[in-house]
Structure 1
Amino acid sequence: MEKYSPTEPLHQRLLNQDASDDGESSSNSNFGFAMPRPTSVRSRLRENMTGLVSCLLLCYIAVISTVNLAAKSSSGNRSHHGGQESLDSMYPALPDLHIEYQKRLEWVDPRPHPFNLPASDALDTAWEDLLYSLNVRVRPHEMDLINETMANRARVTGDGYAAAMGIWHELHCLNNLRKLLHWDYYGPKYGGKENPEAFGKGHSDHCIDMIRQSLMCRPDTSLYPFHWGPDGIPSNHVKAKTPKTCVRWDSLENWAQKRALRPGEYSYVRDHSAHQHAKTQGEKKPASS
């Protein structure tokens, strides 16, 4: 019961009663559940701050990861191309020659193959095939590309000049030294001569020095750890287990075979002006002091 106040105006008492009735009606109409109170923007931000911070942190991590991945990819590409350029710079640029490379272990194989056979026709055939491109043709317009002039150069039929690539020159030298080591077998094949010109001391010394220069120019830096042999003596007859980057031989040989000057398929063209130039140079004597 409401307290009656004789001094309270009638209209005020009616208003207070209506407000009380409305509160009871509102409470009853929600079936026992309180209606949510309206909240401010600041309150909502405060309640969701943890989720918002977590979302921003995840976005930051995603951005950083993407940037790092892109940087590594770019660095890898630069490293790959840089490595390719570094390898290519070791060899002179030649017309239409695109050297390819491969990573592999050393070619040390105890099984028989043509190059570790005893002196025989089969071994000679393997070396002849390897030296197929000993001499190659260089076109006149290509002489400038290799920084050469055409003065006093040996021309051949079919247009062009005779040349030899360094690797085949060195293989030719190695083959000569191989034959000298087995002269008991090869001597009779060369008419029984003790020291034909191609196998004389002067030519052999030249070959040894050419191979020395080539090995020192492009040294193999693979390490070969010694192991204990059955006789208790350290042995270095082992192979390196670290892969090395090598020229893919086919990419070089295919280029050379297309230009190969095969015996009987060409002849030298005498250039009289060049011959005269060479003769004049040969006749010049050093000035006396």
Structure 2
Amino acid sequence: MASDGEQNARLLSEEESGFWEPSEKVQRRKSSGWWKIILYPVAVGLIFLAGIAGGYHWQDVDVNKRCLEHVSQKAPLMRDMDVTYHVEQFNGEFLTENIYRQNASQEVDDAWEALGVDYRPLRVPPEAAEEAGITHDQVKINDEYGGGYIANLEGLHHLHCLNLLRKSLYYNYDYYHAKGEGAFVNEDYIVRKHVSHCLDILRQQLMCTVDVGVLGQIWVWPDDPKPFVDFNTRHKCRNFDAIRQWAHDHQLPADPPPGFIQERPEEGDTIYPDIP
């Protein structure tokens, strides 16, 4: 039986042999380690160069259009005009009424009309129809006049609806009912359907694009201070005037020639049993 000294000597010898002996396995590990040392800075350098190249490429990409594509249904508008964003202070005054809030008058109507609430439809080219959500069996412009589909810009339809709600307010209704223009050429029950349609379209739009900003509160009345909601908030807005101008410039003719729009559906087109 080996003495304690012999066992310790053997253990030390085994440990030294296992750690120091330049075996083939250890040599392979050392060789692999050298490759890692060489490849690591090369890989880092390549990643760095790729980042620089990607940065230059990103500068060439229109970030505003990417943002628009992310939050909006695709439409020809995205390709044809320069949509930009800016910070705008909302006018949230409670007691002071601007022109859009005043009682019915020709001046108020003119202000709303200037927003494009009654612009004529525009043309969506055939090649852009599917991307814009238009199906092949919707109403078309005849090929001799350029083809494509008639369509309205949704944002301006939303303003059209808001304008109709304004006209239908209890203190405005009699004025517009007496004029008998626009939606008010129809019987009252059709006007009601039109108004409720607009109400629900705006409900859906507001829920779809729900604003996650917040309304703080301010102090009013120095003699007896009370809190009141501050509606004068800042928002990131699209350049509405440029979009409205684009829609204005792309309106279909006010008096289209005979046969401009197809008069009958084509074979296979969907025909609904009634107005949905």
Structure 1 and Structure 2 fold alike (TM over 0.5): yes
TM-score bracket for the superposition, by shorter chain length = 0.5 to 0.7
Q: Which one-letter code corresponds to 1:158 in the other structure?
A: Y
Identity of aligned residues (%): 24
Q: Answer yes or no: is the 8 Å Cα contact 2:99–2:111 preserved in 1.
A: yes
What value does the CA root-mean-square deviation take over the aligned residues? 3.7
Q: 1:147 to 1:213 in 2, by over 3 A?
A: closer
Counterpart CA distance in 2 for 1:203 and 1:132 is: 15
Counterpart CA distance in 2 for 1:153 and 1:237 is: 46
Q: Answer yes or no: is the 8 Å Cα contact 1:155–1:271 preserved in 2.
A: no
SS of 2:87's partner is strand
Aligned-pair CA distance for 1:183: 0.6
After superposition, the C-alpha distances for 1:136-177 in whole angstroms (9 at most, x for unaligned) are 221222213324332132436833321112211211111111
TM-score, normalisation: structure 2: 0.60
Which residue number in structure 2 is paired with residue 40 of structure 1? none
After superposition, the C-alpha distances for 1:18-64 in whole angstroms (9 at most, x for unaligned) are xxxxxxxxxxxxxxxxxxxxxxxxxxxxxxxxxxxxxxxxxxxxxxx
| 2:172 aligned with 1:188 | no
Q: 1:205 to 1:132 in 2, by over 3 A?
A: closer
Aligned-pair CA distance for 1:179: 0.5
Larger Rg: 1
Which residue number in structure 2 is paired with residue 90 of structure 1? 71
Determine which of 228, 231, 244 is the counterpart of 1:235. 228
SS of 2:215's partner is coil
Which residue number in structure 2 is paired with residue 199 of structure 1? 191
Aligned-pair CA distance for 1:249: 1.0
Aligned-pair CA distance for 1:127: 1.7
SS of 1:184's partner is helix
Q: Answer yes or no: is the 8 Å Cα contact 2:90–2:235 preserved in 1.
A: yes
Q: Answer yes or no: is the 8 Å Cα contact 1:135–1:262 preserved in 2.
A: no
Counterpart CA distance in 2 for 1:84 and 1:180 is: 37
After superposition, the C-alpha distances for 1:80-102 in whole angstroms (9 at most, x for unaligned) are 97676334411233331331111
Counterpart CA distance in 2 for 1:139 and 1:128 is: 27
Which residue number in structure 1 is paired with residue 113 of structure 2? 128
Matches within 5 A, 1:1-289: 85-95=66-76, 96-108=80-92, 113-130=98-115, 131-133=117-119, 135-155=121-141, 158-159=145-146, 160-181=148-169, 182-190=172-180, 196=188, 199-200=191-192, 202-230=193-221, 234-236=227-229, 238-240=231-233, 243-261=234-252, 263-265=254-256, 268-273=261-266, 277-279=269-271, 282=273
Q: Answer yes or no: is the 8 Å Cα contact 1:138–1:162 preserved in 2.
A: yes
Counterpart CA distance in 2 for 1:107 and 1:262 is: 36
Aligned-pair CA distance for 1:111: 7.2
Aligned-pair CA distance for 1:244: 2.3
Counterpart CA distance in 2 for 1:184 and 1:228 is: 38
Counterpart CA distance in 2 for 1:235 and 1:134 is: 42
Aligned-pair CA distance for 1:250: 2.4
Q: Answer yes or no: is the 8 Å Cα contact 2:84–2:238 preserved in 1.
A: yes
Q: 1:148 to 1:83 in 2, by over 3 A?
A: closer
Aligned-pair CA distance for 1:213: 1.1
Q: Answer yes or no: is the 8 Å Cα contact 1:132–1:260 preserved in 2.
A: no
Structure 2 portions without partners, runs of 5+: 1-47
SS of 1:162's partner is strand
Aligned-pair CA distance for 1:113: 4.8
Q: 1:154 to 1:172 in 2, by over 3 A?
A: farther
TM-score, normalisation: structure 1: 0.58
Q: 1:237 to 1:199 in 2, by over 3 A?
A: farther
Q: Answer yes or no: is the 8 Å Cα contact 2:90–2:231 preserved in 1.
A: no
